[in-house]
Amino acid sequence: MEGFLSEWNAGNVGNSQGAHFVIHQHDHPIAGTHYDLRLQINETSSASWAIMYGLPGDPNSVRLNRNATETRIHCLWNHLIETASSSTGSLLIWDTGTYTILPRKSKYSPSSDPSSPPSSPDPSPEATPQALLHAAFQKRKIRIRLHGSRLPDPYVLNLRLTKSEDAAGRAKSGRAPRTRRRRQGKGAPQPQNETSDEGESEDERSEDVPLAVDTAVQAEKLSAMEREIRELEDEQVRLTNAYPGASNTIGSVHQRRWYVSPDRPACGFVEKRTKGRSTWELDNHVESYDIGANGDKSTGRLSYPFYVRGAEYERSVVTGRRGVDILKDEGVNDFVQRKRLETCLELSYPLVVQVSHELHPSEIMEIILILVHKYITAKPWAVIVVP
């Protein structure tokens, strides 16, 4: 642990070249279990997105895209936090490492050979990872490779923010977009709602992480660090969208809804068609550190496909603890976990659903009917419920 801390401090804190990321598993009593992706944006701060079911790991999933809700700008020290309380639940480090911003691929450019080495993100030697992230953030399209300890290698994500979601998020936060739209006459055609590259639907609103602001605790009695950990907000935090000590140099807007999906070719997959059906398979010629169908158990690195199973199963990549272990270590005995659908492991046939053991059978049936109505169009259908 000491070696991890010293290496982290040397390479990131106060460093304009720092490109650190962390994925926190946060089991919150109100918002439920979600995963916070945080990317270093300057010497002291990181931008943050909350993802309900964790990062996607199945290239053939019918729900390839996931919602990533923009949250507050956090202090960089938050990347090291593993803690717990009755009001905030447990927080553990699911994965951590560095990131690389990759150039966006035009839909008109020729396809590249997956076995060839990745091109440089920017020919300019002055372009730091933070500068590249800032530029991609302003364009609302971030193509990023995460070099973690748990995620497969390579693991590349696309983060996208549509114009409509940008406008909606700014309106909600009381901030207008920077550019003005031209007035349209009565006969002018109305713009169509923009979607992401993979085609999301409004049903994905259900994946948004609920707001979880702790108002029960008297904030004035707590330190700035404790207020950030508990996600307590005051007028200044809401105005700047940054906790004390952090700096919103990237122009982040609270609660904007982004879309996140894996870049399958960049992850080493090739598309194959069999009997009119498209599937994605790993290219044997692509160099990868994955070992076996279940990953490398000696290092804990995952392999494709992988699924994030939730707070009862996932462990910290740093300390090896589960959420319940952190609660115990912090002396928390009165935490009430949100009753919920744990994880929809994969939307295929049959549909496999993992549910909380505390749910009443009628609640389980209601969840099944909702899933069937939203996701399953073919009949007959089957649902397998696992505890």
CA distance 356 to 345: 14
Six-digit token string for 250: 């990237």
Six-digit token string for 138: 């302003």
The amino acid sitting at 360 is: H
CA distance 256 to 21: 20
pLDDT of residue 234: 74
**Could you tell me if 383 and 372 are in contact, meaning their C-beta atoms sit under 8 angstroms apart?**
yes
CA distance 283 to 274: 16
CA distance 326 to 335: 12
Collapsed DSSP state (helix, strand, coil) of residue 33? strand
pLDDT of residue 64: 85
pLDDT of residue 16: 79
φ and ψ of 236, to 5 deg: -65, -40
Block means of pLDDT (10 residues each) for the chain, length 387 residues?
56 78 92 92 95 92 89 91 89 95 72 50 71 96 97 96 93 63 50 48 54 50 64 80 93 95 95 88 63 53 90 92 94 79 49 59 64 51 54
Domain boundaries, the chain: 2-338, 339-387
pLDDT of residue 113: 52
List beta partners, residue 67: 259
The amino acid sitting at 13 is: V
Residues 6+ apart with CB under 8 A from 299: 149
**Could you tell me if 51 and 68 are in contact, meaning their C-beta atoms sit under 8 angstroms apart?**
yes
Within 13 Å, how many C-alpha atoms sit on residue 298's CB side?
A: 4
pLDDT of residue 368: 64
List beta partners, residue 26: 34, 91
pTM for this prediction: 0.72
**Could you tell me if 38 and 22 are in contact, meaning their C-beta atoms sit under 8 angstroms apart?**
yes
